[in-house]
Amino acid sequence: MKNEMNRTALVTGASRGIGKAIAERLAKEGYNLALTCSKDADNLNKLAKCLEDEYNIKCIAFVVDGGDCEQVERLFENEFFKENGIDLLVNNAGISYVGLLHEMTPEEWHRVISVNLDSVFYTCRKAIPYMLSRHAGRIVNISSVWGNVGASMEVAYSTTKGGINTFTKALAKELAPSGIAVNAIACGLIDTSMNACFSEEDLAAVVEEIPADRIGKPEEVADMVLRIAEAPDYLTGQIVTIDGGWV
């Protein structure tokens, strides 16, 4: 890795929730940042400006549909990456679908696959050459415990997260000789807007099953991302679970 003051990270899905917390944590550590989201440009631009001012870093915001290959390719053609390279890629962007599989449309299925899984391929594909040129880098993919065990009513989401886990393990083996570590974080129930579809009663019932007796915080995931990013490159191919002992 480069000197601490010169490190650069790309965080996808950074306008809110876990992605926003990751961006804030990395900025605090002196990372220059490229942040993306698919829709919420106002919040993302405000976040980028705030992080630049507070932590004296470079921070640039992009509205990108991570499931669109051409948009991701244009992202990596930006001068920001040509000037700064990329030391850390955090694939966080994701969406969910809650419902019975037989009631899901093909369009809904493909959208979940595209945003959650295709996007990881697209960003890794473009980030890896920057890392190879320096024989160093870190990739952290945000996954889910449902990628480990599957969830009823969330088949598509579970499928994408299971795919991310296997993608992580395979790519880690491919890139280990080049000094690039690839790991994933399998999150349990985290306090984000993705849970808005569940009632307070539903969430309370889940919390009763969690040994830690609470919902996780986005900041806890962000701390784990930083720890993995700062770990020796011998830590690679791992799916690190952060779920309060739930699954």
Contacts of 4 (CB under 8 A, 6+ apart): 29, 30
Which residue among the candidates 97, 122, 130, 157 is catalytic per the annotation? 157
Please choose, from the candidates 65, 38, 9, 1, the residue with its C-alpha nearest in 3D space to the C-alpha of residue 225: 9
Structure-block tokens of residue 182: 């690839």
Residues 25-42, buried b or exposed e (16+ Cβ, 10 A)? bbbeeebbbbbbbbeeee
Please choose, from the candidates 218, 216, 219, 220, the residue with its C-alpha nearest in 3D space to the C-alpha of residue 207: 216
What CA–CA distance (Å, rounded) separates 220 from 152? 26
Quote the Cα angle for 147-69-180, to 5°.
Answer: 60
Within 10 A of 110 (CB to CB), how many other CB atoms are there?
13
What CA–CA distance (Å, rounded) separates 47 from 58? 12
Tell me, yes or no, if 31 is annotated catalytic: no
CA dihedral for 193, 194, 197, 200, sign (positive or negative)? negative
**Active site positions, annotated:** 157
